[in-house]
Amino acid sequence: MKRIHWKVLVLSICLSLPAAQATTINSKAGQIDVQEITTQLSHPWGLAFLPDGRMLVTERSGNLRYVTKDGKVSEPIQGLPELYVKGQGGLLDVIVDQNFSQSNKVFFSFAQADSSGNGTALASAVLDGQTLKDVRVIFSQQPKVDSQYHFGGRIVQQANGDLFLTLGDRLVLRNEVQQTNTSIGKVVHLTQDGKPAEGNPFLQDKTADARVWSLGHRNIQGATLDAQGRLWTHEHGPQGGDEINITEAGKNYGWPLITYGEEYGGGVIGKTAQAGLEQPLHYWVPSIAPSGMSFYHGNLFKAWQGDLLVGSLKFGLLVRLDVENDKVVAEERMSIGKRVRHVVTGPDGALYLLTDEDQGAILRLTPAAQ
């Protein structure tokens, strides 16, 4: 086994991952083996495990594929709707319905275009071998705009089957983020047929979009549930101010009125605090460009139980946050050396990372044998 050891940042180890080989990094939990499952993916974005152990993986360029445990990548699955593939747009997240064994249903997010522009959409489908059947678009972001940026797109399913979808501000629609009658810069909460979920905060407000769960978001690309079933998200800030929040019904998370980031090209955007607007649970200055997030509840990394694991695009990190009583009390940074797009805890207790590259990888992290 090839071993590489040197220090970067506080607790980081840089690494280079030659194809079909494993390497080892250090962490507070001890040495970690990093195995490349495959490097044959084009900018992978979402990953979900099927009951048979195969992975269902999206490529932003517009393909949905199966990947086996030993790294065999399938031909593209057919039946996707027309996608807007440009800039940050394309095929985004995918999840497997919690009742997949009975329903064969999956949900996926993607950039969708029409004559008025483009935006984020959410669809359901039945997975039948190499084909998606009964594809239904259950949500389409409004208003559409001509932009290649800030699609959001993470999908989370609750225990009752309802869905959360994260939505960005599209970069050019900041003024829409604070308006409850649009789905710009929001988290929406939906039933599986796209209707407003029970308990949504604006159900009785005839001037609002009843699907809105929370507002004041810039570009959420990480979302997960904690052990209590609460939604946690992280989002990109501008030149700093990346945030982690417990994202609750009806709350306003401030963008663009408050932020710990700065405008591109310099200059302060606004204040860092204002009455009625939520403060982040944790934030980064400078920005780490977070993407993907998972609470660890597997059986391999005993010391990581309940910790929040976040990918970093900008610095190529896996970031571990020690969370106690809804507060981040410690942070550990481990350098992967490639843009980390997603972080998923596998059914085997291993940690699976996607890297955002032309030859994107699936990496499997496990404790090294002592």
Question: Considering all CA atoms of the chain, what is the largest pairwise distance in Å, rounded to the nearest integer?
Answer: 62
Q: How far is CA 243 from the centre of its chain?
A: 13
Q: By CB neighbour count within 10 A (0-12 exposed, 13-18 middle, 19+ buried), where does 292 fall?
A: buried
CA geometry: angle 192, 197, 202, nearest 5 deg: 145
Query: Hey, what are 238's tokens?
Result: 């501008």
Lateral strand order in the sheet of 242-246: 220-225, 231-235, 242-246, 282-284
Query: Hey, what are 293's tokens?
Result: 């997030």
Q: Can you tell me which residue has the tokens 């499952």?
A: 37
Preceding amide of 81 cis, omega within 30? no
Under DSSP, the state recorded for 332 is: E
SS3 334: strand
- 150 tagged catalytic: yes
Selecting among 150, 217, 234, 342, the annotated active-site residue is 150
- DSSP for 97-144 reads -TTHHHH-EEEEEEEEEETTEEEEEEEEEEEETTEEEEEEEEEE-SS-
Between strands 12-13 and 186-190, the pairing is unpaired
Task: Kindly list the catalytic residues.
Answer: 150
